[in-house]
Structure 1
Amino acid sequence: MYTLGEFIIDNKKYFSHSIESLLRLFSAIKLAAKAIHKEVNKAGLTKNIGSSGKTNIQGEKQQKLDFFAHNIFINSFRNRDVVCGIASEESKNFIILNKKECTSDNKYIVLIDPLDGSSNIDVNVPIGTIFSVYKYKKKYNNYHLTINDFLQKGYKQILAGYIIYGSSTILVYTTGNGVHGFTLDPSIGTFYLSHPNIVFPNENKIYSINDGNYVKFSNGIKKYIKYCHKEKKNGMPYTARYIGSLVGDFHRNMIKGGIYIYPNTSLYPMGKLRLLYECNPIAFITEQAGGKAIDGHKRILEIKPIDLHQRTPFICGPKNMVSKLEEFI
């Protein structure tokens, strides 16, 4: 079986940047993922479960494991000397990892949701990490990071992925040449290729949306939900599946075939999910798996960010399902 490192090396011709730096990026990601895997799997036995009593920049209750995961990733990337700056969903401002900042051509910008769905920790529901990587482009002789280095359009990502901590821990990523998944063997701490060349299946029957917000949806979304309830040619309506963890819902839908919908509502007119930390990386993966990702009107990867914590409506899944929803919108 391929290990993650072996797979990257054997497919180096498909990555236009430094393979050494890519391996160092993944070395940091793997180390942090294994530390979080270990902590998540014993969460009920430690003091790291439950709320920290604080709120993050999003105004959401911060779980103890949110803080743990945030720090683990910051330290892992800092020790690999390949990332010059990180923006995290748990931090108001971007973080410079070393005093020299970006001093070589192999430096990268990372945006990360350290622990997606963390409110589900207490009830043992799958949670995850979402990450997005951009190449830092130096400005003449100026190597100092600015906010604009982080506000790049999603199509400029060179690497995106997520780690899902569930019945097994799986790392899924794309560098723009397909989507591949690697499952952690915890007995030896190695990620092995388990899901090569993931694409949305042709048979798509799942829709994922929080129906509890139905009265707050636009008419187009309401009509689509009614369409999903109707009997189809095969005699069955679509099946509703919703966990409330983006990574968990998306991973299932990409493997089983389904659409994920988190539209704007009267309560969240600009949407609720974060463009940089959640939607851009998942949209990149979606497109590489043969799907489509939109905000309801335009391609997610074409949106120009104006704020680190910008929110957006988010719809992603197989092209045929997303296009059908667009008809109702």
Structure 2
Amino acid sequence: IVASDPLDGSSNIDTNVSVGTIFSILPASGGVLQPGRNQLAAGFFVYGPQTTLLVSFGGPVMAFQLGDDGHFHDMGWSVSITTDTREFSINASNMRHWRPDVAAYIADCLAGETGPRKMNFNMRWVGSLVADGWRIFRRGGIFLYPADARRGYEAGRLRLVYEANPVAFLVEAAGGKAINGDVPILDLVPETLHARVPLVFGSANEVDEFARYRP
């Protein structure tokens, strides 16, 4: 079974921001509503200044780039997410809707070296999961798309089956972590094809740090 988000970041097309395709390959015998740990393979394409692909078949994550000859070529990159980071990715315009734990975590990051974290953080937000994700695979970071108080966002916004699961599969294969705030994304069992979840992923130590803010 192949589950796919064919055009992630489509709302950014008219602003010429990178978009992409996310895909998950699952055993046919289990149907589409099975935990992400059952995935046989997963990956995503990014259509930006370069056309690139990250993919894992259950082992290491491999990176490919589309060449002028129309073929994908191995980038020769040992894909591994750094354990630590000083960079976070979140849509800060929704701050007033966040739950207290998310607000407290971001506030402590923004407090910089004089705050409780005692170090300065950068914020990056493209608004395209594949673009923000590629950056984190390349140089580390933490991505947060939490549930919040807005109508339709109470259970998160990203789809578990064909967005969160394939990204989490890649993240764990590259040494990072991906959670819904409490448990690993890959352990969740989707109730429907379009079930939504909060998604936090990236550098393992920073994901653990975020989890410590949970009530």
- Displacement of 1:201 in angstroms is 2.2
Match of 1:292 in 2: 177
- Give yes or no for contact 2:65–2:74 (8 Å, CA) kept in 1: yes
Match for residue 200 of structure 1? 81
What's the counterpart of residue 15 of structure 1? none
Q: Which residue of 1 aligns with 2:43?
A: 161
Deviation of residue 198 (structure 1)? 0.4
**3-state SS of 1:270 partner:** coil
The alpha carbon displacement at 1:272 in A equals 0.4
Matched residues in 2 for 1:228 and 1:221: separation? 11
Q: Which residue of 2 aligns with 1:170?
A: 52
**1:123, CA displacement in angstroms?**
0.8
Residue identity opposite 1:112 in structure 2: S
SS of residue in 2 equivalent to 1:150: coil
Shift of 1:228: 1.0
Distance 2:118 2:36 in 1: 39
Flag the structure with larger Rg.
Answer: 1
Shift of 1:206: 1.2
Shift of residue 175, structure 1, vs aligned partner = 1.0
Identical residues among aligned pairs (%)? 40
Tell me the equivalent position of 1:242: 125
* TM-score when normalising by structure 1: 0.62
When residues 184 and 309 of structure 1 are mapped into structure 2, their CA distance, relative to the original with a 3 A threshold, is same
Shift of 1:230: 2.3
Tell me the residue number matched to 1:209.
90
Moved segments of 4+, more than 2 Å: 230-236
Partner of residue 147 from structure 2, selected from 261, 264, 280 = 264
* 2:2 alignment partner in structure 1: 110
Give the conservation status (yes or no) of the 8 Å contact 2:83–2:176: no
**Aligned-partner Cα distance in 1 for 2:31–2:76:** 33
Q: Which moved more, 1:118-127 or 1:190-199?
A: 190-199
Between structures 1 and 2, the one with greater helix share: 1
Structure 1 residue 135, shift from structure 2 partner? 1.8
Matched residue SS, 1:260: strand
- Is the Cα contact below 8 Å between 1:179 and 1:196 reproduced in 2? no
Cα 1:203–1:318 change in 2 (3 A) is closer
Q: Deviations over 1:166-207 (max 9, x none)?
A: 11000110111111100000x210101115330112451210
Q: Supply the distance in 1 between the matched residues of 2:132 and 2:35 (Cα, whole angstroms).
A: 24
- SS of equivalent residue, structure 1 residue 248: helix
Matched with 2:12 is 120
Counterpart of 1:223 (choices 99, 104, 107) is: 104
1:200–1:291 CA contact under 8 A, matched in 2: yes
Contact 2:83 2:140 in 1 (8 A): yes
Spell out, residue by residue over 1:248-277, the C-alpha distance to the aligned partner (whole angstroms, 9 max, x if none).
Answer: 001101211100000000111110000011
* Residue-by-residue CA offset, 1:211-230 (whole Å, 9 max, x unaligned): 00001101100011011112
How far 1:231 sits from its partner (Å)?
2.3
Are residue 322 (structure 1) and residue 204 (structure 2) matched?
no
The residue type paired with residue 121 of structure 2 is Y
User: Structure 2: which amino acid aligns with 1:173?
Assistant: V
- CA displacement 1:2-39 (0-9 Å, x = unmatched): xxxxxxxxxxxxxxxxxxxxxxxxxxxxxxxxxxxxxx
What RMSD, in angstroms, separates the aligned Cα atoms of the two structures? Answer: 1.5
Distance 2:101 2:164 in 1: 21
- The answer to which of 259-268 and 188-197 deviates more is 188-197
Say which SS state the counterpart of residue 73 (structure 2) adopts. strand
Contact residue 55 and residue 62 of structure 2 kept, 8 A: yes
Residue 152 (structure 2) pairs with residue 251 (structure 1): no
For the residue of structure 2 that corresponds to 1:151, the secondary structure is coil
User: Relative contact order, CA 8 A, sep 6+: which one is greater?
Assistant: 2
Query: 2:66 matched to 1:149?
Result: no
1:30-61 per-residue CA deviation (whole Å, 9 max, x = no partner) reads xxxxxxxxxxxxxxxxxxxxxxxxxxxxxxxx
How many residues of Structure 1 are paired with residues of Structure 2 in the alignment?
210
